[in-house]
Structure 1
Amino acid sequence: MGLFSIFRRDTSGKPGEWYYCLRHGRVEEGPDCPAKDRLGPYPDRAGAERALRTARDRDEEWRTDPRWNDNPDHPDNGPAGGSPDPGATGR
């Protein structure tokens, strides 16, 4: 193990898993690119093809979730605003 081995480009994935590569802008099977450049793994090609839409939808859902927004006047906080209920349980 060399001094700079912590900086190697570890792909850390398995063949048969599908990823969306942000660097190349395409779906790839297996660990071809470094983990920092991928979304996934997904169980099939179709899931990886929807990766950007899935990420965008989840981001919007989280960004507008009133349980996680402290400033109801901030435009990103959705219609309800407010703070999380300390007695509520997560999803």
Structure 2
Amino acid sequence: MALFKKRTAGKPGEWYYCLQHGKVEEGPECPAKDRFGPYPSRQEADHAMETARERNLQWENDPRWHDGGTGASTPDREG
């Protein structure tokens, strides 16, 4: 009997989108570096790439992340 079991983080009922295989998984099957999630439902995990594109677009258009130049920069820090 092994003293330590290799355990992948996560549990059944959590859904992930595997970037390497381009598929939805219940409970993580692939390493964390290759997946988005967890999501509360299979449908949300299935739309992970759309969600990421939308969030990236919001970030790119957020004036707090641009200093008025041509490229993105970090937001101004107060204090």
Task: Tell me if TM exceeds 0.5.
Answer: yes
Structure 2 gaps, min length 5 = 1-5
State how far apart, in whole Å, the 2-side matches of 1:57 and 1:48 are: 14
Partner of 2:62: 65
1:10 deviates by: 6.0
**Structure 1 residue matching 2:56: 3-state secondary structure:** helix
State how far apart, in whole Å, the 2-side matches of 1:67 and 1:85 are: 10
Partner of 1:18: 15
Partner of 2:43: 46
TM-score with structure 1 setting the length = 0.68
1:7-33 CA-to-partner distances (Å, cap 9, x unmatched) read xx8631111100000010011111111
Greater relative CO, 1 or 2 (CA 8 Å, sep 6+): 2
- Superposition RMSD in Å: 2.2
Identity over aligned residues, as a percent?
58
Query: Would you identify which runs of 4 or more consecutive aligned residues in structure 1 move more than 4 Å?
Result: 83-86
Aligned AA (1:49): D
State how far apart, in whole Å, the 1-side matches of 2:50 and 2:24 are: 13
User: Is contact 1:10–1:35 with CA below 8 Å preserved after alignment?
Assistant: no
Number of equivalences: 72
